[in-house]
A and B are shown apart, each in its own frame.
Chain A
Amino acid sequence: METFPLALTTLLGSTGAFVIYAIIGFAFGYALESSGFGNSTKLAAQFYFKDLTVFKVMFTAIIVAMVGIFAASGLGILDYSLLWVNPTYLWPGIVGGLIMGVGFIIGGFCPGTSLVALATGKIDGIFFVGGVLFGIFIFGETVSYIEPFFNSSYMGRFTLPEWLGLPTGTVVLLIVIGALALFLGAEYLEQVVGNKPMAELPKWRFGSAGALIAAAVLVVLIGQPNHDDRWNNIAETMGQKLADRQVQITPDELLHTIWDESLQTVLIDMRSETDFNQFHLVDAVNVASEQLGQIAKELQSIAPNTVVVLMSNDELAATAAWKFLVAERVVNVYLLEGGVNAWLGRFGEDLMLQSQTDGDDSMGWLLPMALGDRWAASLPHPEAYALLFDPKIKLELKRGPVAGGCG
């Protein structure tokens, strides 16, 4: 059962959560200062190949955290999909990065390191922090002029394994090996340019490098949980909800929800295109089961007051889709009880319906025409019916961070 990351605000309240973040921040600042990041000359020496501490510290930190994260995810104790992965805005990121590079070599710090410089009384650090605050102020005042660029080349949550088409473990191993090779190159540069003989460096670093590679190989071997593993992790609780019929909402509740202006409703119709063209609800989208992965990605970042309702002719295809979306951590997903057949039975009185022989998740009614969503029953008026239902929809907050990073 994946229990991490924790839902901090739910567990501790917002004050408790902020205390945890302050403690993590404390360790962060302590690590930066003790690595020498409060000293601008040490940071700038990086760019003259004399002292490559910045590079070594940063990439050691990245590969250690990365191996830990994907090992924990592979073992099923950490849910990677709940971690904040900075969304990719490619060009604003690159241009912003270049501007920061300029600031780094002129000013001698980056924002995090300038904080510890300020905290230890470095006067150049204090001026730098002042500059950062002023730069942020200018950005906030001028962002409206560059809004189109600021929001351009958006690729969402886009990861290196997806880009390269390689398994996550392989990418982790390649990055570890690449970083270790670059460390060796960095030490060589320090010997040539900075007069620091490699022979005087501690021997334990080879053993540590070996241990890191071994850990990365383990990450490759255990792999990452696939979709079935993710469902199995939650099968007990979620399967119980299905069996107790806590997530099947009646046509009456669905109609009420569609007209509830405090909620957004996403209607997903899992039937064949033929059935969909004959009849569907207003604003329903026709989705084939192969498209669910893409749909899940879109739904993960949707507004928190959104209710997703799945439907098929009866419940079979809708239930399968429900399991898929829930395993992908989409929240507030429900399915239409009795499916479109039940909906037509309740609201389709104008259609001159003829009952067909019931098959497996097939259309239970014979419609005289294929009118898509132009039937009255596609969006009945709730006041025309006395809607009666036990409400089952309970809005649930997302567990993962909705806006993290440097939000």
Chain B
Amino acid sequence: MMTMQSAGLLKTRATKPYLNPYVGGLFLGLVLFTAFFITGNGLGASGGLNRLVVLVQDAISPEHVDSVPYLLSMAGGDRNPLNSWVVWMVFGALGGGFMSGFFNGRLKFETNKGPQITKRQRWLLAFIGGMFMGYGARLARGCTSGQGLSGGAVLSVGSWAFMLAVFAGAYALAYFVRRVWN
């Protein structure tokens, strides 16, 4: 990205506004429908990241992976953690995000934050928030896409309970961290 920016390739593209939320939702909904219609699976992200973590763990200490049943199911013995559809979906999503950023002039190294905190504080909070997110997503057996969107569209009771919990957790804490964002 750096090289493309310095070569001036991206400067010609003006930053375009985001899609209307309902149009974006329709687009995302059609992608979700197509995923179910063709493959029988919905969308997912955290499961793919999970397998990337296990891939690294397996490279560093295969004995350890073989001794933990949860890890064993993904990378035990000669199993390859990359041998799962959700990993390839994650690679695809990275590519799609990049191309959308490219065509809409939004490829840019920047930090989005509230006006009252520094960049370093924002980075630290992002890392801590990510930790909660990663841990919670594995406990809930899916993230906002895998449980919320996908399970919601096929009417899973657990997914709807999960979605309410995510919004409840965020709204309950929002007041106390308002300085971060406002």
Q: Which residues of chain A have a CB within 8 Å of any CB of chain B?
A: 4-6, 8, 14, 17-36, 38-42, 44-48, 52-53, 56-66, 68-69, 72, 78, 80, 82-90, 92-125, 127-141, 143-144, 146, 150, 155, 157-163, 168, 171-172, 183, 202, 205, 208, 399-401, 404-407
Contact = CB atoms under 8 A, between A and B. Distances in A.
Given A28-B89, A106-B173, A406-B47, A120 B108 contact: yes
13 contacts: A5-B36, A5-B40, A25-B96, A69-B153, A86-B154, A111-B49, A134-B134, A137-B53, A137-B134, A140-B68, A172-B155, A406-B47, A406-B142
Given A22-B92, A41-B114, A31 B27 contact: yes
B110 interface: yes
A107 B97 contact: no
Interface residues of B, number: 127
B82 to A, nearest CB: 9
B151 A104 contact: no
A163 B162 CA distance: 16
Contact of A115 (B93, B156, B178): B93
A395 B113 CA distance: 56
A62 B149 contact: yes
Contacts of A121: 1, 101, 107-110
A113 B93 CA distance: 10
Contacts of A146: 139
Interface string B15-42: 0001111101111111111111111111
A141 B68 contact: yes
A58 B29 CA distance: 8
A105 B177 contact: yes
B28 A31 contact: yes
Contacts of B100: 29-30, 33-34, 116, 120
Given A33-B100, A133-B52, A97 B140 contact: yes
Contacts of A162: 157
B25 A28 contact: no
Given A105-B173, A158-B156, A30 B97 contact: yes
A83 B40 contact: yes
Main secondary structure on B side of the interface with A: helix
Interface of B: 1, 18-22, 24-47, 49-50, 52-54, 57, 68-71, 83-86, 88-101, 104, 106-114, 119, 122-174, 177-178, 180-182
Contact of B45 (A52, A89, A112, A139): A112
A161 B47 CA distance: 27
A135 B150 contact: no
A139 B135 contact: yes
Contacts of A57: 21, 24-25, 28
A108 to B, nearest CB: 6
A100 B160 contact: no
A102 B173 contact: yes
Given A39-B112, A60-B28, A61-B29, A93 B91 contact: no
Contacts of B26: 60-61, 64, 208
Contacts of A23: 92
Nearest to A35: B24
A134 B29 CA distance: 30
Nearest to B91: A22
Nearest to B104: A34
A82 B40 contact: yes
Contacts of B144: 58, 100, 110-113
A308 B105 CA distance: 58
Given A30-B99, A104-B169, A132-B130, A25 B49 contact: no
